[in-house]
Amino acid sequence: MKKETAFIIGFLVLTIGTAALIWTFALPNLKPVTFPQVASGEIEVGPMRHKRALTAEEVSTINTWLADHKGGWGPLSRTPPSSGDSRVALKDTNGQEVLDLTLWTGISTADWNATVFVESPDGSKVHVETFDEKQFAPLRLLVDRHKFNRTAFP
């Protein structure tokens, strides 16, 4: 085998191998996220974390919202400025916690407004997405039922 042929084959193996390795890690983040159906939940709101159970209508709203927003979720790439304005713990029909939503509704710095974190209960998977006000409105209504001081700039 000539040197040129060996060089070309080595170059192709290196190039294709590198691309395959990158896609192996990138592909899971490009798939739509699947969310389980939730049957109940509890919401904590504001800096004092006032708790209340979600109504059946609110659970239905969350199920519909999650079904409509399966794409665009990215992995957490930087630390948020605070713990958010609200946290929603969602449970399945067996009463087992399946999802945690963290919502930013206030002025937690401009780039965190209307942001949602979806987290598995054990914290192993965290997805984040920032929405426009129209898309975020159903979740904002859940939080705005409680009056509280919005998060200030850190």
Q: Model pTM? A: 0.73
**Digits of tens for pLDDT over the chain (154 positions)?**
788 999 999 999 999 999 999 988 877 767 777 889 999 999 988 777 788 899 999 999 999 999 998 887 877 766 666 677 788 999 999 989 999 998 887 655 556 788 888 888 887 788 888 888 899 999 988 887 766 555 554 4
Amino acid at 147: K
**Helix (H/G/I), strand (E/B), else coil: 74:** strand
Q: How far is residue 1's CA from residue 81's CA, in Å, rounded to a whole number?
A: 59
Q: Output the CA torsion sign for 6, 11, 16, 17.
A: positive
40-144, CATH topology level: Dna Ligase; domain 1 (3.30.1490)
> Would you list the domain boundaries of the chain?
1-30, 40-144
Q: Are 105 and 116 in contact (CB under 8 A)?
A: no
Buried b (16+ CB within 10 A) or exposed e, 3-26: eeeeeeeeeeeeeeeeeeeeeeee
